[in-house]
Structure 1
Amino acid sequence: MRKTCGLFIVLILAAGMLAAGCTSTQSSGPGPENTLVVGEMWRVSSINPGDGHGGGTFITEKAIVTETLVGADANFTLVPNLATAWRQINDTTWEFDLREGVLFHNGEEMTAESVVFSLDRVAESSPGTATLLDYNSSEVVDRYTLRIHTNTLNPLVPGTLHYPDTAIIHPDSYDASGAFTTPIGTGPMKLESFNEQTGEVVVVKNSEWWGGEPGLDRMIIRGYESPATRAMLAESGEVDFTVDPPYSEVDRLDALDGVHVEKYNTPRIYKLDVNLNRPQMDDKNVRKAISHAIDRDGIVDNVLYGVGSPAGGVFLPTMTWANTTLKPYTYDPALAKQYLAESGWTDTDGDGYVDKDGKNLKVKVVTYTERPGLPPMLEAIAANLKSVGIEVETLSMENSALTVAMADGTWDLYLSATNLAMVPDPEYVLKGWYTTTGSSNTAGYSNPEVDRMIIEGHNISDLDERYDHFRRIEAIVYDDLPTINVAYYGVAVVMKDTVNGYKFDPTAHDYRIDPFMSISA
């Protein structure tokens, strides 16, 4: 019955796609035997790696059409990729050696000239990326060497060049007017078609890839934002590979004939941003109470079904710069009530809720629906808070609608699943989340000591000294609780048993397609 339902939904979706029309010139029919059909978790709206709007993540990690100069290993240590080595020449100059013999998909060799062109265009089209690089200019030293000039000292340059939005594309990716047209990259797959109306992307094998012979001949990628839909498509066999079905479905899917599920940790964290502009949330005792009221182990076991782990500090313990002394806040309802009482919040009328000055302590907790762990986690957290006497209002909706709903500032806690390593360096997260003017400081947090330390840390180039410095900052925000860390994110990868050779990349945004995967009969 479930399979029939899933197939019925797929047929409806397919009919909708046909009705919408198609802008591509290529068919997405069955194709060669080694064709992987991917159920992506977001609708594909961009294939431009430099647009600053998700195109880089998709086209670099999921379609594997483009590549970055710098890679990262499982501990998030930077490693060569399109660049084989790099060095700091002076405070504002970095020199990069390029891998020789790398061909773009149009057959032309990657040279310093084409890389400089690509970086210049990214800096023009994505102000956020240009800011991360502190980009001034680039110059060609010789055919396989270039220099990047920054405005000030910036140790983040190599790490930022791991960011998918900095992926290298050929100048012919733009038309005569300078407008982006198609990503001509160096990756193991090359673009065949992109249907802007349906979001379907088709890529084919790049037999000239410098990294070896790709295992897949073709890949068809379609976005399905509903976790339940992704589960049904995996069960019905309409997709070969997808991620993050409802976590309550993981064990059932894994038990199906012909399907298996693999669980991995990813550089992402479930966290509650605290709205410090709300008077009750600006009270550190209340924040401590909320953190101790949350049953992190119970959430991981019973809500996430083991897909993840309880969170202590901001960073995963596997990250080389993480402060591993920071353990998850203990689940201690009695201690939570004690913190509330210290700030005058007690149940004076016996209604089960703490109150002060005749008003109950009430918090509004909000989240979005696209990631399967968030809505059930929201309900679990609400139950935890109610158990210590906090009245809770919850709101769960699609991300775009939630952004509008939060604009009035009446929310208290915002539950999200946020990436930690688009740039493999602690400054990227700590500066964005916790400086007074940080680009992702949703909490409205302001601590002059943290601001000062992050400025100081930016100028430390020695990695051991740098990481120790940022570990101290991580400890400060762990104690201040402008964000309450709940769990490290886990991803559930659902594959047909006919999919072979998949190796998970723990540094990827959600997941990275392995170029050496293949499909067996």
Structure 2
Amino acid sequence: MKRNGMWVAALLLLCTMILGGCGKANTAQEKTFSYGTMAYGTAMENVGTNPHEAYTGWSTLRYGIGETLFRFDDRMELMPWLAARYEQVDDNTVRIFIRDDVTFSNGRKVTGEAVKACLEDLVEKHDRAPKDLKMDRIEAEDQTVTIHCLEKVPALRNYLADPYACIIDMEAGEHDRIVVGTGPYVAERVTDTELDLVKNRNYWGGTKPKLDRIVVKSITDGDTLTMALQNGEIDAAQGLPYASLPLFRNAPEKFKMSQAETSRTYQAAFNFKTPALQDVRVRRAICMAVDKENFSKVLLHGNGVPAVGPFPGNLAYGDAAVKAPKYDLVGARTLLREAGYEDTDGDGYVEKDGKPLELRYLTYTSRQELPLLAEMLQASLKEIGVKLTVNATDNYRTFLKNGAFDIFSNAIVTAPTGDPEYYLSGHVLAGAVENKGGYENGRLSALAEQLHNTFGAADRAALAIQMEQQILDDCAILYAAHLRMTFVVKTGVMGFTAHPSDYYEITSELDKANE
């Protein structure tokens, strides 16, 4: 009996060792993808996963947690996603047919009622969505939702492709900043600086997610991001300093790049409450003092395109169709003299009625291009006698709220919905949420009303061009450059590509070779 007991004990020990070894082998084979980015953080208002809060939808969509009813292809043309198709019932009503095979990551089916509950919560809680969607009521039946709008919304489907319109399970709720979406990955842990994701084993899409785990790390220091990719701490990076790109471009055996022209635009809005800036000649002089070619080609190392207006030239309503003041330091000085500003004390800066023209420039640091633009503007304006005091802080919202700025510079995607109304209605109209400078123009408002009630891409583009030209004639906003998006990845990474919309980063196509 004793000998038998010894044999049993030995057998149990052997089984334990085998099972333990198998467990270790499985762990070793687990595929984990680590991604370092400058585009996740509190400064961008996108921390968390709930798309109904500020700009958090960008994280929901970018990192494969949520999906929208419609999406954009590589040419920024709309296509169905969670929706199977749609029909325009009348000018104010759209009926959307939901795919019958879509489930949330918890296995619950996405029905018309689920979509209705999500969209109703969106317009109740989000700041921009109600103004965009103009929803009166939503009806749901089986796999359809019928959206009744208070007025015509020709760009409704475009807005439903915005990250804030990711469809999430309202019954599941939100816990620890985690919501339940339909994407290929599920948030497991969320902090201000990191997102931990795991494979959605219930993913409805035809291509099943290939990675077991994804870690998205917010790395806002360019040198730290560069070193993390070089030493293998991360598999891919977004937002690398431009000076670092040659390090990876010159090592094709280890790294590869993916680039796309985007509508992310670097702009500077004038504060119309500032007395000096109420004179269009002063605003025009400042616009004429900016060397956009130098900013795009030298400071951005060719990763930007000089901007004319808010939209890049590859769009029908983009830069090719509008005109803005050209770089001209002599002309800028002449305009300032005409406005009554001259350097009377010889200190290199102009004054009017004994008061120097000194302006407060507000921006933030989490977009590496913005401090570079600030430095260039500061030097350029000195050339025409304008003193610029730069405040680059990720606490910029406090200064905006207090009105403690004369020029506010930021980076925004102007055509994320593939339609010009998104930007024009949200950033330049009186009372618009993102109209930080308080710019108003009656003609612009009238054109916006026409745009909002006009169907057809060509007619909408024609109206948008008129609106853009009005903004440029008023020199209400200075547009510096459009970004060329660049991702750098290890050579073993597959399916991680830049998209013109600045969306769709982590998809079910993402994979990496075993190391």
Shorter-chain TM-score: which interval? Answer: 0.7 to 0.9
Query: Which deviates more from structure 2 when the two are superposed, residues 291-300 or residues 412-421?
Result: 412-421
Are the structure 2 counterparts of residues 197 and 490 from structure 1 closer, same or farther at C-alpha, using a change threshold of 3 Å? closer
Tell me the secondary structure at the aligned position of residue 50 of structure 1.
coil
Deviation for aligned residue 1:189? 2.1
- What does the per-residue CA deviation read over 1:203-252, in whole Å, with 9 as the maximum and x for residues that have no partner? 21546432323343321222223333222211221111121122222223
Residue of structure 2 in register with 1:417 after alignment: 411
- What does the per-residue CA deviation read over 1:145-202, in whole Å, with 9 as the maximum and x for residues that have no partner? 2211222222232111101121112344228xxx8974332222233x1144764322
Residue of structure 1 in register with 2:342 after alignment: 346
Do structure 1's residue 117 and structure 2's residue 111 form an aligned pair?
no
Tell me the secondary structure at the aligned position of residue 324 of structure 1.
helix
Structure 2: give runs of 5+ residues left out of the alignment.
1-25
Q: CA RMSD in A?
A: 2.5
Are the structure 2 counterparts of residues 245 and 65 from structure 1 closer, same or farther at C-alpha, using a change threshold of 3 Å? same
* Correspondence list, 1:90-101, <5 A: 90-101=90-101
Do structure 1's residue 174 and structure 2's residue 173 form an aligned pair?
yes
Q: Number of matched residues? A: 484
Residue of structure 2 in register with 1:20 after alignment: none
Query: Is this contact kept in 1: 2:41–2:47, CA < 8 A?
Result: no
Deviation for aligned residue 1:57? 1.2
Deviation for aligned residue 1:456? 2.2
TM-score, with length taken from structure 2: 0.87
TM-score, with length taken from structure 1: 0.86
Are the structure 2 counterparts of residues 483 and 236 from structure 1 closer, same or farther at C-alpha, using a change threshold of 3 Å? same
Task: Name which of 347, 350, 355 aligns with 2:351.
Answer: 355
Residue of structure 2 in register with 1:467 after alignment: 461
Residue of structure 2 in register with 1:49 after alignment: 50
Query: Is this contact kept in 2: 1:97–1:146, CA < 8 A?
Result: yes
Are the structure 2 counterparts of residues 33 and 499 from structure 1 closer, same or farther at C-alpha, using a change threshold of 3 Å? farther
Tell me the secondary structure at the aligned position of residue 505 of structure 1.
coil
* Correspondence list, 1:166-315, <5 A: 166-174=165-173, 182-191=178-187, 193-196=188-191, 199-206=194-201, 208-256=203-251, 258-315=254-311
Deviation for aligned residue 1:384? 0.9
Residue of structure 1 in register with 2:102 after alignment: 102
Cα distance between partner residues in 2 of 1:405 and 1:119: 32
Are the structure 2 counterparts of residues 128 and 415 from structure 1 closer, same or farther at C-alpha, using a change threshold of 3 Å? closer
Percent identity between the aligned chains?
27
Are the structure 2 counterparts of residues 369 and 336 from structure 1 closer, same or farther at C-alpha, using a change threshold of 3 Å? same
Do structure 1's residue 517 and structure 2's residue 513 form an aligned pair?
no
Query: Is this contact kept in 1: 2:48–2:177, CA < 8 A?
Result: no
For 1:440, the aligned partner's letter is E
Cα distance between partner residues in 2 of 1:321 and 1:287: 24
Flag the structure with larger Rg: 2
Query: Is this contact kept in 1: 2:258–2:498, CA < 8 A?
Result: no
Query: Is this contact kept in 2: 1:33–1:519, CA < 8 A?
Result: no
Do structure 1's residue 437 and structure 2's residue 435 form an aligned pair?
no
Tell me the secondary structure at the aligned position of residue 115 of structure 1.
helix
Query: Is this contact kept in 1: 2:177–2:190, CA < 8 A?
Result: no
Residue of structure 2 in register with 1:394 after alignment: 390
Residue of structure 2 in register with 1:139 after alignment: 139
Residue of structure 2 in register with 1:58 after alignment: 59
Task: Name which of 403, 423, 434 aligns with 2:397.
Answer: 403
Deviation for aligned residue 1:299? 0.9
Query: Is this contact kept in 2: 1:76–1:319, CA < 8 A?
Result: no
Tell me the secondary structure at the aligned position of residue 322 of structure 2.
coil
Residue of structure 2 in register with 1:89 after alignment: 89
Query: Is this contact kept in 1: 2:116–2:138, CA < 8 A?
Result: yes
Are the structure 2 counterparts of residues 236 and 473 from structure 1 closer, same or farther at C-alpha, using a change threshold of 3 Å? same
For 1:455, the aligned partner's letter is E
- What does the per-residue CA deviation read over 1:69-103, in whole Å, with 9 as the maximum and x for residues that have no partner? 01112343221111132222123321112223223
- What does the per-residue CA deviation read over 1:359-390, in whole Å, with 9 as the maximum and x for residues that have no partner? 33222222111111111221111111111222
Cα distance between partner residues in 2 of 1:274 and 1:450: 17
Cα distance between partner residues in 1 of 2:489 and 2:208: 22
Deviation for aligned residue 1:46? 4.5
Cα distance between partner residues in 1 of 2:496 and 2:400: 39
Query: Is this contact kept in 2: 1:77–1:320, CA < 8 A?
Result: no
Residue of structure 2 in register with 1:334 after alignment: 330
Cα distance between partner residues in 2 of 1:274 and 1:343: 17
Are the structure 2 counterparts of residues 349 and 206 from structure 1 closer, same or farther at C-alpha, using a change threshold of 3 Å? same
Query: Is this contact kept in 1: 2:139–2:145, CA < 8 A?
Result: yes
Do structure 1's residue 39 and structure 2's residue 36 form an aligned pair?
yes
Residue of structure 2 in register with 1:164 after alignment: 163
Are the structure 2 counterparts of residues 480 and 181 from structure 1 closer, same or farther at C-alpha, using a change threshold of 3 Å? closer
Deviation for aligned residue 1:278? 1.0
Cα distance between partner residues in 2 of 1:499 and 1:293: 43
Cα distance between partner residues in 2 of 1:195 and 1:470: 39
Cα distance between partner residues in 2 of 1:321 and 1:449: 18
Cα distance between partner residues in 2 of 1:111 and 1:403: 39
Deviation for aligned residue 1:498? 1.9
Tell me the secondary structure at the aligned position of residue 280 of structure 1.
helix
Tell me the secondary structure at the aligned position of residue 336 of structure 1.
helix
Structure 1: give runs of 5+ residues left out of the alignment.
1-28
Deviation for aligned residue 1:59? 1.7
Cα distance between partner residues in 1 of 2:475 and 2:121: 39
Query: Is this contact kept in 1: 2:139–2:146, CA < 8 A?
Result: yes
Tell me the secondary structure at the aligned position of residue 107 of structure 2.
coil
- What does the per-residue CA deviation read over 1:274-327, in whole Å, with 9 as the maximum and x for residues that have no partner? 111111111111111111111111111221111111001111222343352225
- What does the per-residue CA deviation read over 1:8-34, in whole Å, with 9 as the maximum and x for residues that have no partner? xxxxxxxxxxxxxxxxxxxxx976453
- What does the per-residue CA deviation read over 1:404-447, in whole Å, with 9 as the maximum and x for residues that have no partner? 23444342211211221343321121122221111111111111
Residue of structure 2 in register with 1:18 after alignment: none
Cα distance between partner residues in 2 of 1:492 and 1:172: 38
Are the structure 2 counterparts of residues 171 and 207 from structure 1 closer, same or farther at C-alpha, using a change threshold of 3 Å? closer
Residue of structure 2 in register with 1:498 after alignment: 492
Deviation for aligned residue 1:450? 0.8
Query: Is this contact kept in 2: 1:173–1:181, CA < 8 A?
Result: no
Cα distance between partner residues in 2 of 1:326 and 1:198: 40
For 1:306, the aligned partner's letter is G
